[in-house]
Amino acid sequence: MSNTFIPEITTPLRQKMVKVPEVIQYASGIKVYGKLIKSLVFSTDIAVIRNTNANAVMAVYPFTPQPVITHALMMASDIPVFCGVGGGLTQGKRVVNLALDAEFEGAMAVVVNAPTANDIIKRMRNTIDIPIVVTIVSEHEDIRGRIEAGATILNISGAKKTPKIVRNVKEICPSIPIIATGGPTDESIMETIEAGANAISYTPPTNAEIFSEVMRKYRSEKE
């Protein structure tokens, strides 16, 4: 991180934010359409998205993607959205159509799940212009096949094996941009960055967890 002083401006009503770990600033970042992305908050919670200092949103959820959800995220977010369009429960032409809809709504990129077939990625690449982010969960996946099919960015989500998978991917294709989960500590995030991740996805505390903290504070003030 640079030693240059960076002035920070906030207001009384915007002091409470979901801040990503500062160590993420050591990542090189991925420049998409001129915007440098180092941190992505993994959330579909509009309240969190509107109150975070992350560079972008990784909006992926475990249900069948719906255009109305994509629309709501695009309308609410004040930072770029990497939008999930399926590939797990949702397959085939529907994934391609959802990706096209996400592009029309203003998504910076679309994200597909690990089970997505390479032929679907090819069809997406022939249909949309924005980057395609393909999720990788195992070191045994066909990395070259994903890239040849049209993956623009790889999203590595391998739990404790994430740094190892990142290193393997960089050996296969040093130039492919990588987003990766960083884990719960500064040390695990730094290990992932040193392995070759260009950007880190951060899972924030839930609304309930944040509220619990706030309520504890309110109760202590009343005692």
Has residue 96 been placed in a domain?
yes
Has residue 211 been placed in a domain?
yes
Residues of the chain with pLDDT > 90, as a percent, come to 79
Q: What is the mean pLDDT of the chain?
A: 93
42-58 pLDDT, tens digit each = 999 999 999 999 999 99
Supply φ then ψ for residue 120, to 5 degrees.
Answer: -70, -40
**pLDDT value, residue 146:** 96
Give the C-alpha separation, 127 to 110, whole Å.
12
Has residue 16 been placed in a domain?
no
Has residue 14 been placed in a domain?
no
Q: Which two tokens stand for residue 69?
A: 């959800």
For the entire predicted model, the pTM comes to: 0.91
Parent domain of 149:
22-222
Has residue 47 been placed in a domain?
yes
Has residue 209 been placed in a domain?
yes
**pLDDT value, residue 198:** 98
Has residue 65 been placed in a domain?
yes
Q: What is the dihedral of CA 147, 153, 155, 161, to 10 degrees?
A: 60
Question: Is the pLDDT at 2 greater than 60, yes or no?
Answer: no
Predicted confidence band of residue 207 (pLDDT cuts 50, 70, 90): confident
Mean pLDDT of 128-137: 98
Has residue 158 been placed in a domain?
yes
**pLDDT value, residue 180:** 98
Q: Which residues, other chains included, contact 53 with Cβ-Cβ below 8 Å and sequence gap of 6+? A: 17, 18, 19, 20, 39
CATH of the domain at 184: 3.20.20.60
Looking at the 3D structure of the chain, how many domains does it have?
A: 1
